[in-house]
Amino acid sequence: MYFHYCGIPILIFFCERVKIYRRNNAISHNKLLFQCFYNRCSAPAYHLILEGILILWIIRLLFSKTYKLQERSDLTEKEKEELIEEWQPEPLVPLVSKDHPSLSYDVVTGPPSHRIIVNGKECINFASFNFLGLLDSERVKLKALSSLKKYGVGTCGPRGFYGTFDVHLELEERLAKFMRTEEAIIYSYGFATIASAIPAYSKRGDIVFVDEAACFSIQKGLQASRSFVKYFKHNDMEDLERLLKEQEIEDQKNPRKARVIRRFIVVEGLYINAADICPLPELVKLKYKYKVRIFLEESMSFGVLGEHGRGVTEHFGVNIDDIDLISANMENALASIGGFCCGRSFVIDHQRLSGQGYCFSASLPPMLASAAIEALNIMEEDPGNNIYIHKNKCILPSSLIYGGFCRTPGLKTVGEPLTPALHLQLENSTGSRTNDLKLLRAIVDYSLDRQIALTLARYLDKEERFLPPPSIRVVVTVEQTQEEMEKAAQCIREAAVKILK
Partner 1 sequence: KTRLDKLCLLNQKVNVQPHAAYALMQVKCNENGKARYRSTYRPFIESFEETPMLVAVLTYMGYGILTIFGYLRDFMREWKIEKCHIAREREEQKDFVPLYQDFENFYTRNLYMRIRDSWNRPIYSVPGATFDLVERSSNDYNWTFEYTGRVVKDVINLGSYNYLGFAENTGACATAAGEVTVKFGVGMASTRQEMGNLKRHEELEKLVASFLGVESAMAFGMGFATNSMNIPALAGKGCLILSDELNHASLVLGARLSGSTIRVFKHNNMQSLEKLLRDAIVHGQPRTHRPWKKILILVEGIYSMEGSIIRLPEVIALKKKYKAYLYLDEAHSIGALGPYGRGVVEYFGLDAKDVDVMMGTFTKSFGAAGGYIAGRKDLIDYLRTHSHSAIYATSMPLPVVEQIITSMKCIMGKDGTTIGRSRIQRLAENTVYFRRRLREMGFIIYGNNDSPVVPMMLYMPAKIGAFGREMLKRNIGVVVVGFPATPIIESRARFCISAAHTKEMLDRALDVISEVGDLLQLKYSRHKVLPSLDRPFDETTYEENEE
Residues in 35-64 that interact with partner 1 by CB under 8 A: none
Q: With CA atoms as reference, report the closest residue to 330 among 347, 306, 351, 309.
A: 309
Site string for partner 1, 411-440 (x = CB under 8 A): ------------------------------
Q: Is 114 in the site for partner 1 (CB under 8 A)?
A: no
Q: Is 78 in the site for partner 1 (CB under 8 A)?
A: no
Q: Binding residue for partner 1 (CB under 8 A) from 188, 313, 327, 392?
A: 188
List binders of partner 1 among 313-332 (CB under 8 A). Answer: 321, 329, 331-332
List binders of partner 1 among 164-183 (CB under 8 A). Answer: 164-166, 168-169
Please report how close the Cβ of residue 130 comes to partner 1 at its closest, in angstroms. Answer: 4
Q: With CA atoms as reference, report the closest residue to 476 among 241, 127, 161, 9.
A: 127
CA distance 70 to 236: 59
List binders of partner 1 among 131-150 (CB under 8 A). Answer: 134-137, 140-142, 144-145, 148-150
Contact between 376 and 235 (Cβ < 8 Å): no
State residue 124 phi and psi, 5-degree precision: -95, 135
CA distance 150 to 158: 19
Please report how close the Cβ of residue 71 comes to partner 1 at its closest, in angstroms. Answer: 19
List binders of partner 1 among 84-113 (CB under 8 A). Answer: 84, 87-96, 100, 102-103, 105-113
Q: Binding residue for partner 1 (CB under 8 A) from 115, 180, 233, 262?
A: 262
Q: Binding residue for partner 1 (CB under 8 A) from 362, 378, 400, 499?
A: 362
Please report how close the Cβ of residue 85 comes to partner 1 at its closest, in angstroms. Answer: 10
Q: Is 115 in the site for partner 1 (CB under 8 A)?
A: no
Q: Is 223 in the site for partner 1 (CB under 8 A)?
A: yes
Q: With CA atoms as reference, report the closest residue to 373 among 128, 144, 122, 112.
A: 144
CA distance 397 to 414: 18
CA distance 371 to 357: 21
CA distance 344 to 326: 10
Q: Is 119 exposed, middle or buried (0-12, 13-18, 19+ CB in 10 A)?
A: middle
CB proximity list for 248: less than 8 A, separation 6 or greater: 290
Q: Residue 13 gets which letter from DSSP?
A: H
Q: Binding residue for partner 1 (CB under 8 A) from 288, 383, 384, 394?
A: 288
Q: Is 116 in the site for partner 1 (CB under 8 A)?
A: yes
b/e code 98-118 from CB counts within 10 Å (16+ = b): eeeeeeeeeebeeebbbebeb
Q: Binding residue for partner 1 (CB under 8 A) from 8, 32, 156, 467?
A: 156
CA distance 431 to 436: 8
Cα angle 447, 449, 450 (rounded to 5 degrees) comes to: 65
Please report how close the Cβ of residue 203 comes to partner 1 at its closest, in angstroms. Answer: 9
CA distance 277 to 258: 31
Tell me the chain's radius of gyration from C-alpha atoms: 37
Site string for partner 1, 16-35 (x = CB under 8 A): --------------------
Nearer to partner 1, 96 or 394 (CB): 96
List binders of partner 1 among 365-404 (CB under 8 A). Answer: 365, 367-368, 371
For strands 263-268 and 207-211, give the pairing. Answer: parallel
Q: Binding residue for partner 1 (CB under 8 A) from 174, 263, 310, 423?
A: 263
List binders of partner 1 among 440-499 (CB under 8 A). Answer: 453, 455-460, 463, 473
Please report how close the Cβ of residue 315 comes to partner 1 at its closest, in angstroms. Answer: 22
Q: Is 220 in the site for partner 1 (CB under 8 A)?
A: yes
Q: Is 293 exposed, middle or buried (0-12, 13-18, 19+ CB in 10 A)?
A: middle
Nearer to partner 1, 37 or 162 (CB): 162
Q: With CA atoms as reference, report the closest residue to 304 among 338, 328, 340.
A: 328
Nearer to partner 1, 132 or 418 (CB): 132
Nearer to partner 1, 118 or 274 (CB): 118
CA distance 26 to 24: 6
Please report how close the Cβ of residue 418 comes to partner 1 at its closest, in angstroms. Answer: 19
Nearer to partner 1, 112 or 279 (CB): 112
Please report how close the Cβ of residue 316 comes to partner 1 at its closest, in angstroms. Answer: 18
Q: Binding residue for partner 1 (CB under 8 A) from 162, 238, 449, 481?
A: 162
Please report how close the Cβ of residue 49 comes to partner 1 at its closest, in angstroms. Answer: 50
Q: Binding residue for partner 1 (CB under 8 A) from 47, 350, 391, 450?
A: 350
Q: Residue 228 gets which letter from DSSP?
A: E
